[in-house]
Chain A
Amino acid sequence: MWRDAVLVAGKDLRIEARSRVATNQVAPFAVLVLILFAVALDADRRMLEQAAAGLLWVAVLLSTLLAVHRAQGVESAEGTGDALRLSGLDPAGIFLGKAAAVAVQLLALEVLLGVGVVVLYDIDPAGLGTLALTAGAATVGLAAAGTLYGVLATRSRVRETLLPLLVLPVVAPVLIAATRASEAALAGDPLGAASQWLALLGVFAVMYVGFGVVAFGPLMEET
């Protein structure tokens, strides 16, 4: 399973590295969202500072949709999804691999958005350890949930519109918890204030990775 996961993750990341969709389209989109927030809030520096954590995570959430969409898109074109099924790889491994590839892209994006928030919204970076923990736990959860719902919605003609409706209500706790944990970290609170939220992010991540490992096989068979 682990070997298969590494294979699939490597394949997906190589596709992204060569096609440059993530770097040329998803990353600029995420930064654009940050800029649009600033425009919508009238570049009110105090308000931007207060809302920075939430805005950052909303941008991450929107980018997750794009990344998941892309990860499923490469499988639905040219029958590659069928080839993947016929390859004899463990479905759990395929799930972990695809989720890991999405997670790696999201982590890179979060670093970029973090820098963007510091530069554009004038935030003092503080509590970097807590922020890293938050980003890690939230990313695993987002990637796992996104990948799972991605395959649910795949092969349907309404995939573009169905995926956000399925994923966004599900990842709402990630948005809440990651925002609160980031706020606590930025406010310079010790780990204690964020620990409750980190625990929730952890539970979410474990739950969706577990679900994905179990449910991905049956879901792949049918599509």
Chain B
Amino acid sequence: MTNRTGTASALTLSLGLAAALALGGTVALGLSLPATVEQGEYSRLIAIHPGLAWASYLAFGVTAAASALWLWPRTRSPRSDLVAGSSAEIGVVFTALTLATGSIWGRPTWGVWWVWDARLTLSALMLALYLGYLALRRVPAPVDVRARRSAIAALLAVAVVPVNHFAVEWWRTLHQGRSLAQTTPGNDLDGIFVGVMLLGFLAMTLVYCWLLVHRVRVARLEDRLDEQSLAVALDERRREAVLAP
């Protein structure tokens, strides 16, 4: 493990295969969904949109948990910091995709690309919040300093999410209720839609896990490069000095 130079392993290979299978299944089943009366072709976005949103929540949750683990002295390890940063990066991607797919659905359904509804506003704020977190991580600093700073920022970010939630919820509400609340029997979401949506949840979760493992390994290699590059350069210069007459 210590001399690993790539980021693939048996774990990522199997995770990746499972993710690809689930994603392929979601796409295939999603495209085969019947068009509904109210939303026409666009109802098929239900296969991926709720799954993407769920994965972004999961990613930010993992960031918060890993940051808390880092801040707690007994569980502090450099790995928690890397997991926190990597997970936030993936979360930002998923949030952006959630907003994009939501927008694509909103245009034909609501008639506009964007509405100032509570959920959308909250997602946009969350995206900005974590972009700020990632920008903070990019500020050059020793590994420990960066870890503490970003762990505190991550916990602050996660704490502000409920406040933002209430603020925008009271401000405006137009988005339909939570997707999962509609899976109870007797609801107007058909069984096949629910099934595909749940498969989408599974697929996005697997994709998230696969990306996370790879990203953490890349992050560790980056840190090692940072640590070693100076030593390597010094070593080379020294050898040059010895060779010189």
Contact residues of A with B, CB < 8 Å?
A: 148-149, 152-153, 156-158, 162, 165-166, 168-170, 172-173, 176-177, 180, 196-197, 200, 203-204, 207, 211, 215, 218-219, 222-223
Contact = CB atoms under 8 A, between A and B. Distances in A.
B160 interface: yes
Given A162-B132, A165-B135, A176 B171 contact: yes
B167 interface: yes
Grouping DSSP codes into helix (H, G, I), strand (E, B) and loop, the B interface class, with mixed when no group exceeds half, is helix
A140 to B, nearest CB: 14
B31 interface: no
Given A200-B167, A207-B159, A218-B152, A169 B128 contact: yes
A219 B152 contact: yes
Grouping DSSP codes into helix (H, G, I), strand (E, B) and loop, the A interface class, with mixed when no group exceeds half, is helix
Nearest to A175: B167
Contacts of B157: 170
B156 interface: yes
A218 B148 contact: yes
| Interface-centre pick from B132, B136, B149 (highest chain A CB count, 10 A) | B132
B156 A176 contact: no
Interface of B: 125-126, 128-129, 131-133, 135-136, 139-141, 144-145, 148-149, 152-153, 156-157, 159-160, 163-164, 166-168, 170-171
24 contacts: A148-B156, A149-B156, A152-B152, A152-B153, A156-B140, A162-B136, A166-B153, A169-B132, A169-B160, A170-B129, A170-B157, A172-B125, A173-B166, A180-B171, A200-B163, A200-B166, A200-B170, A203-B163, A211-B156, A215-B152, A218-B148, A219-B149, A222-B145, A223-B145
A215 B152 CA distance: 7
Nearest to B124: A169
Contact of B148 (A176, A204, A207, A219): A219
Contact of A152 (B149, B164, B166): B149
Contacts of B141: 156
A4 to B, nearest CB: 21
Nearest to B163: A173
A172 B168 CA distance: 9
